[in-house]
Amino acid sequence: MTEHAVVIAGGGPTGLMLAGELALAGVDVVIVERRASQDLDGSRGGGLHSRTIEVLDQRGIAERFLSAGQVMQVQGFALIPLDISDFPTRHNYGLALWQSHFEPILADWVGELGVPILRSCEVVGFAQDDSGVDVEISGGTSLRAEYLVGCDGGRSLIRKAAGIDFAGLDPSTSWMIAEVEMDEEPEFGFRRDSVGRHALGRRQDGEPVRVVLTERHVDHTGDPSMGELREALVAVYGTDYGLRSASWISRFTDMTRQAASYRHGRVLLAGDAAHVHPPHGGQGLNTGVQDAVNLGWKLAQVVIKTSPESLLDTYHAERHPVGARVLHNTMAQVALSSPDDRHQALRDTMTELLSMDEPRRRIAAMLSGLDIHYDLGEGPPLLGRRMPDLDLHTADGPTRVFTLLHDARPVLLNLGEPGGFDISPWANRVRFIDAKHAGGWELPVLGEVAAPPAVLIRPDGHVAWAGDLTDPELPQALATWFGAANPAH
């Protein structure tokens, strides 16, 4: 039986990102993926939010995605546009980039890091014991791993086989989605009727027309046929615009569910396997990628044995509330999209509110992921929040914070007098960097915050501690997050 430290079931956005994070930390990881290639049968997710672009920037790969898509103000709350160009981030925008283009770029990075992907293979079952997991693969083979991570999408076999409850709401609405060729130029944009909102769009000339139609009924099994699509178009628009062919026809609903636990022993869940919700606000892929960036370094440290297994519990503690908030805001967006007059009155009210700066900033920071605040206890405002990408001057020349995170290792950044702390007990795990930053510190929504003399940054870019290097809590924070002091190093 082949052995690996970590087996990832599913090589979608979440599984790929997690594999990259583990490989950067030197962990032996393999992806088992059902699809024969990275190709998707439709374009699926429409793009990236600011915080996802930031986490890719933290790994030095943002430019690959930015150059493949279109930078724009993509954010909307129930399609009410939200501009983030005044946000304190280098990436004060979103990226329009279809998931079908995003995945191959991410897969190339994972390939460069040497992660094997077992394609056309499925995880069909597993059994865990005290020391590891036997992972059963289609075709009668199996793998042995210390940990198994289910990144296998909303219908996750891993979640079901682990017996993890997937609590939430059944669907109330169903939408048909398709990518089609039409003989006539259709009416692009949104249309509302008594059934709901419908949309026809094309991002670029030469691309197929993307159709999203609210359906009258929610109880469907399987994908719609060409005939059903034609019928639905005629019902809404009075014509099918000369519908010729469809490269993709599918449907999605507003089913909203979340795994009760993101961990069961040696089995973990991330991405859609842990949470499903309607695509309103375009948050699914983004949340999955960020789950992976939260889990990756923690799992690596546990596998490499610098940290105890209990570090993994912080993954659920930090990411479950983030997922719950996404589910909550998508439910609100679905309600605001209801076509009846009362909901439309509510929508008008919300549109007015979101034209004001403070509400806009709050809701936009939530959708973009820039306001994520892990609860790490009492402390300065930076604690648990994302570290801003400051311009720095170091002995090696100018750099910026995100560049220091490219290799996914923690950084103790000293902005006060050089030296002043003996990092040697953690020197094999944590980089100590003396630097200067001219200018203030500004966080999304919170605004200006006091500049701390030093800050301990986790590999996911969140602040684990901030203060003076003489603070007795600093050695405690280092030990909590990056393992016990080891004077031998």
Ligand X SMILES: Cc1cc2nc3c(=O)[nH]c(=O)nc-3n(C[C@H](O)[C@H](O)[C@H](O)COP(=O)(O)OP(=O)(O)OC[C@H]3O[C@@H](n4cnc5c(N)ncnc54)[C@H](O)[C@@H]3O)c2cc1C
* 3-class SS of residue 353: helix
Taking the C-alpha atoms of residue 101 and residue 139, their distance in angstroms, rounded to an integer, is: 30
Q: Which is nearer to ligand X, 99 or 333 (CB)?
A: 99
Return the H-helix or E-strand segment holding 347.
helix 341-353
Contact by Cβ (8 Å): 156, 168: no
The answer to whether residue 425 forms part of the interface with ligand X (CB under 6 A) is: no
The answer to whether residue 15 forms part of the interface with ligand X (CB under 6 A) is: yes
Taking the C-alpha atoms of residue 272 and residue 56, their distance in angstroms, rounded to an integer, is: 19
Query: Considering only 8-16, 224-232, 297-305, 449-457, which stretch makes contact with ligand X by CB under 6 A?
Result: 8-16
Query: Minimal distance in Å, beta carbon 48 to ligand X?
Result: 7
Query: Considering only 5-13, 203-211, 370-378, 384-392, which stretch makes contact with ligand X by CB under 6 A?
Result: 5-13
Measured CA to CA in angstroms, residue 443 lies from 212, 367, 370, 417, 423 at distances of: 36, 15, 9, 24, 28
Query: Minimal distance in Å, beta carbon 479 to ligand X?
Result: 32
DSSP per residue, 113-134: TT--EEET--EEEEEE-SS-EE
Taking the C-alpha atoms of residue 22 and residue 28, their distance in angstroms, rounded to an integer, is: 8
The answer to whether residue 369 forms part of the interface with ligand X (CB under 6 A) is: no
The answer to whether residue 333 forms part of the interface with ligand X (CB under 6 A) is: no
The tokens 């909303």 sit on which residue? 154
Query: Minimal distance in Å, beta carbon 118 to ligand X?
Result: 9
In 3-state terms, the chain is what percent helix, strand and coil (to 5)? 30, 30, 40
Query: Considering only 10-18, 229-237, 309-317, 473-481, which stretch makes contact with ligand X by CB under 6 A?
Result: 10-18
Contact by Cβ (8 Å): 209, 245: no
Residues numbered 143 to 182 that lie near ligand X (CB under 6 A) are 151-153, 157, 177
Residues numbered 74 to 103 that lie near ligand X (CB under 6 A) are 99
The answer to whether residue 323 forms part of the interface with ligand X (CB under 6 A) is: no
Contact by Cβ (8 Å): 12, 155: no
Q: Contacting ligand X (CB under 6 A), which of 21, 54, 57, 122? A: 122
Q: Contacting ligand X (CB under 6 A), which of 6, 9, 182, 477? A: 9
Give 219's Cβ-side CA count (13 Å radius): 0
What is the size of the binding site for ligand X (CB under 6 A)? Answer: 33
Among left, alpha and beta (phi > 0; psi -120 to 50; other), residue 310 is alpha
Residues with Cβ within 8 Å of residue 356, at least 6 apart in sequence: none
The answer to whether residue 278 forms part of the interface with ligand X (CB under 6 A) is: no
The answer to whether residue 259 forms part of the interface with ligand X (CB under 6 A) is: no
The answer to whether residue 14 forms part of the interface with ligand X (CB under 6 A) is: yes
Query: Minimal distance in Å, beta carbon 206 to ligand X?
Result: 21
The answer to whether residue 11 forms part of the interface with ligand X (CB under 6 A) is: yes
Q: Which is nearer to ligand X, 42 or 453 (CB)?
A: 42
The answer to whether residue 284 forms part of the interface with ligand X (CB under 6 A) is: yes
The answer to whether residue 132 forms part of the interface with ligand X (CB under 6 A) is: no
The answer to whether residue 10 forms part of the interface with ligand X (CB under 6 A) is: yes
What are the counts of helices (DSSP H) followed by strands (DSSP E) for the chain? Answer: 12, 29
Residues numbered 34 to 73 that lie near ligand X (CB under 6 A) are 34-35, 44-47
Question: What residues line the site for ligand X (CB under 6 A)?
Answer: 9-15, 32-35, 44-47, 99, 122-123, 151-153, 157, 177, 252, 271-272, 279, 282-286, 288
